[in-house]
Amino acid sequence: MTGQRERGADERNANSSTHRTTSRRVYHVLLALSLAACRGPARAPDRLTLLVLSRPEHLDPRHPEDALGASLGKLLYRGLMEGDPVTFLPRPALAAGASWVDATRYRVTLRSDARFRDGTPVTADDVVATYESVLDASQHSRLRTTYGRLLRAVRAVDPRTIDFELYRPDGSLETLLQLGILPQRDARALERRPEEIARERLVGSGPMRLARYAPDALSLDADGAGAAFRALDVVTLHDPNTLALRLLHGQGDVAELKPELYPLFEGRADFEVASARTSGMTYLGLHCEHGALADVAVRRALAMAIDRASLQRAMLGARAVASTGVLPPSHWAYTSEVARYPFDPAAARRALVAARGEGAPPLRLTLRVSSQRFAITVAQGLTAMLHDVGVEVDVRPSELATLLSDLRAGRFDITLLTVPDLSDPFGLGFWFGSASIPTPENPTAGGNRWRFRDAALDAALDQGLRALGPDARRPHYQRAQQVLAEQLPVIPLWHADVVFALRRPYRGLRPRGDGQLDFLLRLTR
């Protein structure tokens, strides 16, 4: 038995150095290539080039499809509210003020200087037209279900005042008021595709305007935005190593980095590297209707088998914090008073024997992960730790689309995933509420792929929605965190930072943890 534990420890130690070894290997290969390659052509000094790994498909805020498109869309279209980059709480943007008139009516007053990019004022009629277009079935907005369950009507009280009438009290409204506002003439049209926005020189309520669009390259006009550049060029490269080489060669100015690429840029005089804590969570999801995993004692045993802190340090260093629950410590609704499962392999083995019986065959699980190198490396570390307590794990990588389809259909035992954003904890209902379990009849019901059902959790989430204001909502979402920690449909691992690299002469890199890109407007030269 001692030899088995030593082998498990050796596997973990070898695995914990995998990230450092991989990072060094990538670093030396890319460094050699960068020294051998010539520097890219000189670029105009008044243009900032953002390198990205995925193509922004939609910029119309009423039709969000991808995270990058949504972030770029917020540079074109501001909302009545925006998220605070530190606390994640909503705060006024186009709104000068906002308050509850009563439990089901919320009044917003527009700023007197709220303008579209062509200088025309943003009016209550523009706001009403934008929200009505989301609620219009003919628009086929993906937001229609979310906003339709909430909004009875949106009415203009006067040119600068709007009333939002709700079916019932709902504390998530202020977060949902971050929807970008369109001029009413555009809001009444069907979805505006990016090429149409550029071709017709459509204007929004944000600080920038889309000047040019091609599938892998678009440009945003920043004139009048007070930025250190006149135009933002967004170039899609699809491959992390190609992105790193382009950035090193001077063919780009700024980019978000994958963890294995951090060593390429940290400590270099010609780059500034900065990070921000996100509201997201990387976790191990458990199929709660799987034979053995249906037993919460088994789920707790798996949690005790995982050395979360060591794995997080090995993979991300100081660019993450180990999870104590589903929300990060910086979150406004966070509570530390939850059940915890310190790393204890011996206790995990005892718990598995108690749950499954003396002499039971080894527990065998399939771990589904994406095909990204980083995810596979983390999965190998988890496999070694679980092997050390007698759990045999088969790691099965898949392309992301295949993985998500299989998870919705319940074709998995355990899975490694990241929730990108929990800035408003009403999102916990989407991921864990009983009504959010995908079914063959409704495969898009929600993100509760774990098939987890708990009446106490559903009650806490419902009460959190009905409460108005952070102070009233906080106790209910803290109770929800406690239920999730007790029942463990997922095992939280860490809350990672978002990390960007910025090439000189630009300075003042302060990225946001919520994925928004307006920090680019505050760069200096």
Is the predicted pLDDT of residue 57 greater than 60, yes or no? yes
Q: Do domains 67-187 and 192-278+503-522 have the same CATH topology?
A: no
CATH 3.40.190.10 fits 192-278+503-522, yes or no: yes
What angle separates helix 373-387 from helix 296-305, to the nearest 10 degrees? 110
Distances (CA, A) of 87 to 91, 178, 332: 10, 15, 6
Q: Say which residue the tokens 């498909």 belong to.
A: 57
Which amino acid does the sequence have at 119? G
Confidence of residue 259 (pLDDT cuts 50, 70, 90): confident
CA trace torsion 485, 491, 497, 498 (10° rounding): -120
Given a contact cutoff of 8 angstroms between Cβ atoms, the answer to whether 302 and 392 are in contact is: no
Is the predicted pLDDT of residue 525 greater than 50, yes or no? yes
Is the predicted pLDDT of residue 379 greater than 90, yes or no? yes
pLDDT recorded at residue 461 = 97
Q: 271 is written with which tokens?
A: 């780059």
Is the predicted pLDDT of residue 191 greater than 80, yes or no? no
pLDDT recorded at residue 37 = 45
Average pLDDT for the chain = 89
Given a contact cutoff of 8 angstroms between Cβ atoms, the answer to whether 317 and 259 are in contact is: no
Range with the poorest average pLDDT among 199-208, 264-273, 341-350, 490-499 = 199-208
CA 397 distance to own-chain centroid: 21
* Longest Cα separation, the chain: 77
Mean pLDDT value of segment 49-54:
94
Comparing 445 with 394, the larger pLDDT belongs to 394
What's the residue count for the chain? 525
CA distance 488 to 392: 20
Burial (CB count within 10 angstroms: exposed 0-12, middle 13-18, buried 19+), residue 493: buried
Q: Where are the domains of the chain?
A: 67-187, 192-278+503-522, 280-497
Q: Which long-range contacts (CB under 8 A, 24 or more apart) does 518-523 make?
A: 518/74, 518/75, 518/207, 519/85, 520/48, 520/50, 520/227, 520/232, 520/254, 521/207, 521/222, 521/225, 521/226, 521/227, 522/227, 523/48, 523/227, 523/228, 523/229, 523/254
Q: CA angle at residue 77 from 195 to 255, to 5 degrees?
A: 75
Buried b (16+ CB within 10 A) or exposed e, 508-523: ebebbbbbbbbbbbeb
pLDDT digits (tens, 9 = 90+) for 115-141: 999 999 999 999 999 999 999 988 888
CA distance 95 to 451: 40
Given a contact cutoff of 8 angstroms between Cβ atoms, the answer to whether 434 and 458 are in contact is: yes
Integer-rounded Cα Rg, in Å, for the chain is: 24
pLDDT digits (tens, 9 = 90+) for 486-514: 999 999 999 999 999 999 999 999 999 88
Confidence of residue 36 (pLDDT cuts 50, 70, 90): very low
Distances (CA, A) of 426 to 268, 327, 445, 467: 41, 12, 15, 11
Most confident of 252-266, 290-304, 432-446: 290-304
Closest by CA to 75, choosing from 522, 469, 525, is 522
Confidence of residue 146 (pLDDT cuts 50, 70, 90): confident
Share of the chain above pLDDT 90, in %: 70
410: left (phi over 0), alpha (psi -120 to 50) or beta: left
CA distance 90 to 80: 10
Buried b (16+ CB within 10 A) or exposed e, 53-68: eeebebbbbbbbeeeb
Is the predicted pLDDT of residue 25 greater than 70, yes or no? no
Mean pLDDT value of segment 469-482:
96
pLDDT digits (tens, 9 = 90+) for 63-97: 887 888 889 999 999 999 999 888 889 999 999 99
DSSP codes joined into one string, 173-236: HHHHTTPBPPPHHHHTSS---HHHHHHTT---SSS-EEEEEETTEEEEE-TTTT-SSSEEEEEE
Close Cβ partners of 433 (under 8 Å, ≥ 6 residues apart): 446, 448, 457, 458, 461
Given a contact cutoff of 8 angstroms between Cβ atoms, the answer to whether 293 and 287 are in contact is: yes
Closest by CA to 349, choosing from 393, 311, 308, 298, is 298
Mean pLDDT value of segment 139-144:
85
pLDDT digits (tens, 9 = 90+) for 271-290: 999 999 888 899 999 999 99
**CATH, domain range 280-497:** 3.10.105.10
Given a contact cutoff of 8 angstroms between Cβ atoms, the answer to whether 18 and 24 are in contact is: no
Q: Which class in CATH covers the domain with range 67-187?
A: alpha beta
